[in-house]
């Protein structure tokens, strides 16, 4: 993503993020020319079903929790289990 953000800045173009708002919110804090981050309820519903640390809008904005490492998400393995493809869970 840094390459895309850099190219959009050089060309004076805004950059948008599509899908997975809890994942992209952290990364897009570093993008200078951010236009918007799409927030679809079906994507948010899945994120909230499978992860702890998802974000909720405050005054129309998503604000990452800087107290959590990485993108701030933690997989809830027990909830993911029914959807898991065999051999994909880390040891």
Instruction: List the chain domain ranges.
Output: 2-83
Q: What is the pLDDT along the chain (91 residues), one digit of tens a residue?
A: 556 666 666 767 777 777 788 888 888 887 877 787 888 888 889 999 999 999 888 898 888 888 888 888 999 999 998 987 877 666 5
Q: What is the pLDDT of residue 22?
A: 84
HSE-up of 68 (CA within 13 Å, CB side)?
A: 15
Q: What is the pLDDT of residue 73?
A: 92
């Amino acid at each position: 993503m840094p390459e895309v953000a850099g190219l959009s800045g050089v060309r004076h173009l805004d950059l948008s993020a599509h899908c997975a708002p809890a994942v992209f919110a952290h990364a897009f804090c570093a993008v200078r020319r951010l236009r918007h981050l799409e927030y679809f309820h079906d994507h948010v519903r899945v994120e909230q079903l499978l992860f702890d640390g998802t974000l909720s809008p405050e005054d129309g904005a998503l604000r990452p929790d800087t107290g959590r490492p990485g993108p701030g998400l933690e997989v809830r393995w027990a909830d993911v289990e029914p959807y898991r493809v065999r051999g994909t869970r880390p040891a």
